[in-house]
Amino acid sequence: MGLLVVALAITGGCFGQTRGDRVVVATAARGATESGEPLTSFTTRQGWTVKLQKAKLALGPIYFFENKPTAWYKRLLSINKAYAHAGGNELKGAVLLEVLEQYPVDLLASTPTDTGVVPALGGLAQAVELELHPVGQVAPGAPESAYALLGKETIYLEGQADKEGQTVRFAGRLSIPDVGTKRIVPNIHAELDLAGATAESGRLVLSVLVDQVLANVRFDTLTQEKDGVYALDDEGAQAHTALLLGLRSRYSYSAAWARSVERGE
């Protein structure tokens, strides 16, 4: 795995709570469901039972901020209306921890994907912000071969969805359009005490809640079919739009400390 380069951003002013000493934090990312159902078979909000065979996401950079998520109207009034990358400011507070590379996360793996052991500032991280770019547009954190399934896109999904006797086999690679800050997912709620953290005390795990990503996807709107498999990159389909909206939703992600790396513990 390539060297993880981390530059800990410390803002000049003191926003929000008092920050503590430097600490070291082991980080990781994984796939999960909000409902607690297994990723191999779960039911979405639209009533589809989804069985995934393959699922991989290019994830990162990731930033952990000291301030709570900001209301939308405050973000609109902020002078930081748009930004090329995350950084501390009066709304978000200081960056307490950041992972600056992109990692290919196997969302079906039984153990989380390591995203590096990084320096951080002790304190309470109350918001997470992540970026979702196509492969090749951000410094990689893993060998080139680990990204093969993704091609040059951001996410790959393959599986089957069933509802009321209808079965839709699907597969495809997608990326969020590069428009404004659409590839940035801000304001993910967190409550992570980094004070006194060490690499031995557990890992800080970011979970991608796949059932929330697919919550509003209507698989029967897919129309581009080949050999019985429908393409997810069908830009005219509701399923394509709903999937991208799910990827960009802050409710599709969560972060927590995990002492065990095994799924479900």
Per-residue pLDDT, 199: 57
Q: How many domains is the chain built from?
A: 1
5 located within any domain: no
Per-residue pLDDT, 264: 41
Contacts of 188 (CB under 8 A, 6+ apart): 69, 127, 128, 129, 130, 250, 253, 254, 255
Per-residue pLDDT, 12: 29
Domain that holds residue 85: 22-258
Per-residue pLDDT, 202: 82
* Alpha carbon separation from 210 to 94, 157, 167, 192, 222 (Å, rounded): 29, 10, 19, 22, 19
Distance between CA 223 and CA 229 in Å, rounded?
10
15 located within any domain: no
146: left (phi over 0), alpha (psi -120 to 50) or beta: alpha
Contacts 24+ apart (CB under 8 A), 1-5: 1/114, 1/141, 1/142, 1/143, 2/101, 2/140, 2/141, 2/142, 2/143, 4/99, 4/100, 4/101, 4/115, 4/116, 4/117, 4/118, 4/141, 5/100, 5/101, 5/139
249 located within any domain: yes
10 located within any domain: no
Contact 102, 146 (CB under 8 A): no
Distance between CA 114 and CA 106 in Å, rounded?
11
Alpha helix stretches (DSSP H) within the chain: 72-77, 210-213, 238-248
Per-residue pLDDT, 81: 40
DSSP state of 183: T
190 located within any domain: yes
Per-residue pLDDT, 23: 86
Low-confidence ranges of the chain (pLDDT < 70): 1-20, 70-90, 197-201, 259-265
For residue 104, say if its preceding peptide bond is cis, omega within 30 degrees of 0: no
Distance between CA 9 and CA 97 in Å, rounded?
8
Per-residue pLDDT, 82: 39
- Helices first, then strands: H and E counts in the chain: 3, 15
4 located within any domain: no
pLDDT, tens digit, 9 for 90 and up, residues 5-14: 333 332 223 3
pLDDT, tens digit, 9 for 90 and up, residues 113-162: 999 999 999 889 999 999 999 999 999 999 999 999 999 999 999 999 99
247 located within any domain: yes
171 located within any domain: yes
